[in-house]
Amino acid sequence: MAGRREVTIVEAAEERRLVGPNPNKLGAYMSGIDAMSRKGLENRLSEAQEALDAIETKLEELMGFRDAAVVLAAAILARSPP
């Protein structure tokens, strides 16, 4: 796409940072969710979707690094003497 730059993992994480529940207070967090209105849940759903999109972007970038590492390892093995 014209004019669109690639976003790095760090930029995506900083842009879409969501604070998760404290594991020690998970019951209170779940009670808060239970008490939310439908509209509140819909708002949180859009935030969750944005977080999921950021995770997917990071995963795709990491998979690219993995693929590059495999190719590099194969090239190194191909060059090394038997």
User: For 21-68, what is each residue's pLDDT tens digit?
Assistant: 667 777 877 788 788 888 888 888 888 888 899 999 999 999 999 999
Confidence of residue 73 (pLDDT cuts 50, 70, 90): very high
- Measured over the CA atoms of residue 65, residue 69, residue 71 and residue 72, the dihedral's sign is positive
pTM of the model: 0.52
Residue 1 has pLDDT above 50, yes or no: no
Residue 7 contacts residue 57 (beta carbons within 8 Å): yes
Residue 16 has pLDDT above 80, yes or no: no
